[in-house]
Structure 1
């Protein structure tokens, strides 16, 4: 593309492609396209939603008779879309907008301008084709399942909550769900565009967006009726979210931008800025008003601007639950890494169960230059001693219960933790009531009852660490059952700490002695802060601490202070 000379775009213009008919076998002949500039709303066109792929451009394309190279996934789509090809989708698709070709990728200013218009471009299209890639036997089975299931539902032939589906069809649907398209950040903006006809294409098969969403919802209902998570699963959670976002974009919705960013946390983006921009116009539609951020800046600057947007629109401090002292070093400590959210604890999920800062409105202000965040908080205590986490959060993601993998890690960690918690091998009274043993059980369970259903506060698993402190061996994973899975999910990547006054808690992997435990009025989860200079602090991360999770710091009339986060 570096050698192709684009005609510069005027304000309000886009480029559109026209595929030229092939007179031979389109899969072998060189594809030909023309490209020209047009006002955005001047004519009907199809917009393509697809994934670029990671391969080097190696397929020939003649663009206005100039030879260029394109990647294999785009070449496959164009071959199927070409009139006269063997694909049954070969009806003329008319003019096509494709980002890789219609945006001058070598012109950063144009890229920034066109990216800012992406939502408008897809909304102006008369059709959006969602290209899932080339076909195989399994994908054909999956596409046929979607079409058949939606047809049965439309004809009232599904009287109960279940659907007819074979093991092979479940495997085929799950295989389609794992295709690279679903891991792409821009999927959410493009494929959730409301008010535009949308089609899923996979090889030569196509189903409409509505048909696939209906079949997917029926698959979810099927699993609910059976009361089990089927493996392989016929339910695509990404399709459900796309459908939900389409509905939210049609009507004003007050969900926060942070909520939206969290929905896309597992998606990939070649440019880390795209994790924000791919969702920004969805958020603008949900709010019913234009919202803009500058694209042509460094990622850390964009993330800071996004954080300020979240703070100013929600007037809440929940984004601090995703900050970590060990995150991307160029970021301000109070700005989350939106490319890879840090889950120092499951704070955003569990914030509904705790009220460390009471039910009041948080008080904070962003500095005039947007670089510092000043918050009002109560200094509770100082970290005195820290026990290392079971594993580095960089290893996060392996939740296997294979005892041969975890036993060599789990056994010495629990023995070391037992010695840390019970140096005298005996129980004693805890600072806020009850015993140390009870506090330990609470901390290792994050205060939540065992199990993988809806989390609730209540009885927690008992870990006999006091007894273990006097034992020469550690516990056996197989004997602990699901309790180990709970512990692995909730606290295995967290450091456990004592404070000077005797509070026990867990927090960020990089907690150090001397970090300060702070409760911010209006924030459900406490924070650990690290002094920098004067009254400036860095956010270490959120923490759970036994005895201060229900507003005790406020009830004890702790002195409020201003903390300037940098």
Structure 2
């Protein structure tokens, strides 16, 4: 491997407005290393990088790959200087250099097209630049250009990085093709690609038939191993690999398959799995690949829609707002926590049909003559300002079109930008801007359902979720579409002048009086195996909650709408039938808590495995509580009795929230599910909305 000193490392030249860099590379063999041209150890990569106006680029391939966690150690000779790469990208570039015609890089590399054309030559180790009489068109039509973020963006230049990452959607959309790199191949990945090819051929020959083929255990295991590759867990791939209307190829070492063929094969594997009626030892279905294909279709559909078409009719739940996108991708990984948000902005702009590359939301407070900014009703965006060269786009809530405006002369008329790609921002400020964008810009009050006093917080402000890890111990986000506790559909959110508090309108239901702790403690992992969990632990918990709910071991009415036994059974099921698909049902599991409170036998969990698994997954991490007025509910583990914790139903939010009265302001404790109010029963009961200020 070549070595490069700090003095020899490549130094980037500043990009002009609207420019991007493209790379060409080739493998050089011989000299000191000598040996086989297919052996990376016996060769080194050399390349040439240059800038182009994004509107006038030559044809190029955009790379989608996983950076990896190793330190950069592989050397690329770049414009005659050294550049260190991580191993995964180095291996991909080696594969790409093998695909190029011999001496392609030497014959087709070019520099800035000012007064002359520059091309790359080499003499074993040293690269020189010489003039070429070739025309600009000849160079632009040459194949072999590559765009890769690690080399085409100066990663040490934060200002450039902010701009270039805002252009990613455009960069991938303009690519000749997108190469999805899963890493080097092995025996298992080769078997997986062979299985994909076979399944795709079968599907093309039998487009209307259910799969009657048989996947062998080895094929299932190989496909599962391929799904476990690090690539699928990277958040950036959801922007890159879902780019519509651009040919995509999946590479794994020397194995290649078209994205469409892999999707077709993956759907056959899904159908085979459903028809199997049992869970195989290895799962051949790649849910991430299916998700990428679904997102690609959503983005393409939106691009083809007319200005008067309804967005909602084309959006699948999970991608209908920035918050939904964050929640859908919460398990994906990013080295920089900001990327959990930034990686989704191009997808968001695509689905929302925003034409520019940066989303900036600003609030015009002084124009309203008040010290705070508010957003009333259900406007899609009151002011979505997208900054580029001092130009702002603004949505007028009274109109249905975008108006161009000059930047405000008085900077005080706008608060600071609320959402943009900016790696100079502290992480807490990025979280704040994102929360403001969702609460004020999108009127998405579900943001509050991801706030919790349990676990680490991203901010001292309790209305800002921890976007680095937005998974909840007690998850009610998935149930939003099934319920509608608020009798008032229109939301109203006001942001304080210093952006440290929000004020919302809602109904104060009741104060929490007594609380029973969750089945699983804060540090417990979620398990569903009765051998792991233990019958004794379950028995102790269910006996304890039976006494908590039926202290006198007697049946009674619950709020005049049925028996308490019926109410608690429905509460523990969250009104849903057993199974992984959330479906409202009145037929729920009966746990016999009244009988247990009277000394009856505790159910055996090995005899009720499906029901126990549902209980464990849905409510085992929630606290049970009674309110002063007799409401029974489940909520965040941080809920406390007689600590001034209140149940509030905010206008426009389908799930109640527990807030804690701290005197001059309130704090969000977490979401709650209250039996007897989840279907709008508060309507017409005399409850009046009031303001709640949350710090």
TM-score (norm 1): 0.91
2:557 aligned to which of 426, 429, 439? 429
Give 1:228 deviation, angstroms: 5.2
2:282 aligned to which of 232, 236, 258? 232
Looking at structure 1, the residues matched to 281 and 327 of structure 2 have their Cα atoms a distance apart, in angstroms, of 25
Looking at structure 1, the residues matched to 523 and 175 of structure 2 have their Cα atoms a distance apart, in angstroms, of 42
Q: Choose 538-547 or 385-394, whichever is displaced more.
A: 385-394
Structure 1 residue 114 and structure 2 residue 164: aligned?
yes
- Seen in structure 2, the aligned counterparts of structure 1 residues 42 and 147 have a Cα distance that, compared at 3 Å, is same
Does the 8 Å CA contact 1:345/1:490 hold for their aligned counterparts? yes
1:508 aligned to which of 601, 616, 636? 636
1:186 aligned to which of 220, 223, 236? 236
Give 1:352 deviation, angstroms: 2.8
Partner residue in 1 for 2:85: 70
Structure 1 residue 281 and structure 2 residue 335: aligned?
no
Looking at structure 1, the residues matched to 671 and 207 of structure 2 have their Cα atoms a distance apart, in angstroms, of 51
Q: Choose 105-114 or 299-308, whichever is displaced more.
A: 299-308
Q: Deviations over 1:22-48 (max 9, x none)?
A: 224342123222323332232121111
Give 1:345 deviation, angstroms: 3.7
Looking at structure 2, the residues matched to 474 and 405 of structure 1 have their Cα atoms a distance apart, in angstroms, of 15
Partner residue in 1 for 2:372: none
Secondary structure, counterpart of 2:556 in structure 1:
coil
Partner residue in 2 for 1:321: 449
Looking at structure 1, the residues matched to 568 and 203 of structure 2 have their Cα atoms a distance apart, in angstroms, of 52
Looking at structure 1, the residues matched to 343 and 150 of structure 2 have their Cα atoms a distance apart, in angstroms, of 16
2:487 aligned to which of 358, 381, 398? 358
Give 1:359 deviation, angstroms: 6.4
Structure 2: gaps (5+ residues): 30-34, 106-141, 303-310, 313-319, 360-418
Partner residue in 2 for 1:420: 548
Give 1:507 deviation, angstroms: 0.5
Partner residue in 1 for 2:189: 139
Structure with max Cα Rg:
2
Secondary structure, counterpart of 1:272 in structure 2:
coil
Equivalent residue runs for 1:75-154 within 5 Å: 75-83=90-98, 94-154=144-204
2:335 aligned to which of 270, 279, 288? 270
Give 1:318 deviation, angstroms: 2.2
Secondary structure, counterpart of 1:554 in structure 2:
coil
Give 1:353 deviation, angstroms: 2.7
Q: Deviations over 1:191-235 (max 9, x none)?
A: 111222211000101111111112222222333444555542222
Structure 1 residue 51 and structure 2 residue 101: aligned?
no
**How many aligned residue pairs are there?**
560
Q: Choose 524-533 or 251-260, whichever is displaced more.
A: 251-260
Partner residue in 1 for 2:672: 543
Partner residue in 1 for 2:258: 208
Partner residue in 2 for 1:4: 10
- Seen in structure 2, the aligned counterparts of structure 1 residues 524 and 333 have a Cα distance that, compared at 3 Å, is same
Partner residue in 1 for 2:390: none
Secondary structure, counterpart of 2:466 in structure 1:
coil
Looking at structure 2, the residues matched to 343 and 162 of structure 1 have their Cα atoms a distance apart, in angstroms, of 41
Does the 8 Å CA contact 1:403/1:477 hold for their aligned counterparts? no
Q: Deviations over 1:133-169 (max 9, x none)?
A: 1111111111122223223333447743444432221
2:46 aligned to which of 4, 11, 32? 32
Secondary structure, counterpart of 1:285 in structure 2:
helix
Partner residue in 1 for 2:590: 462
Q: Deviations over 1:398-435 (max 9, x none)?
A: 33323243335323222332332233333333334333
- Seen in structure 2, the aligned counterparts of structure 1 residues 419 and 337 have a Cα distance that, compared at 3 Å, is same
Partner residue in 2 for 1:259: 324
Give 1:494 deviation, angstroms: 0.6
Of structures 1 and 2, the one with the larger relative CO (CA 8 A, separation 6+) is: 1
Partner residue in 2 for 1:533: 663
Partner residue in 2 for 1:402: 530
Does the 8 Å CA contact 1:22/1:84 hold for their aligned counterparts? no
Q: Deviations over 1:108-149 (max 9, x none)?
A: 222212211121221222121100011111111111222232
Structure 1 residue 168 and structure 2 residue 182: aligned?
no
Partner residue in 2 for 1:20: 26
Does the 8 Å CA contact 2:458/2:464 hold for their aligned counterparts? no
Looking at structure 1, the residues matched to 603 and 81 of structure 2 have their Cα atoms a distance apart, in angstroms, of 69
- Give the alignment's Cα RMSD to 1 decimal: 2.7
Q: Deviations over 1:502-537 (max 9, x none)?
A: 211110011112210112233221111111232x21
Partner residue in 2 for 1:519: 649
Partner residue in 2 for 1:294: 420
TM-score (norm 2): 0.75
- Seen in structure 2, the aligned counterparts of structure 1 residues 173 and 511 have a Cα distance that, compared at 3 Å, is same
- Seen in structure 2, the aligned counterparts of structure 1 residues 347 and 70 have a Cα distance that, compared at 3 Å, is same
Give 1:461 deviation, angstroms: 1.5
Q: Choose 167-176 or 36-45, whichever is displaced more.
A: 36-45
Secondary structure, counterpart of 1:533 in structure 2:
coil
- Seen in structure 2, the aligned counterparts of structure 1 residues 145 and 486 have a Cα distance that, compared at 3 Å, is same
Structure 1: gaps (5+ residues): none
Looking at structure 2, the residues matched to 227 and 257 of structure 1 have their Cα atoms a distance apart, in angstroms, of 36
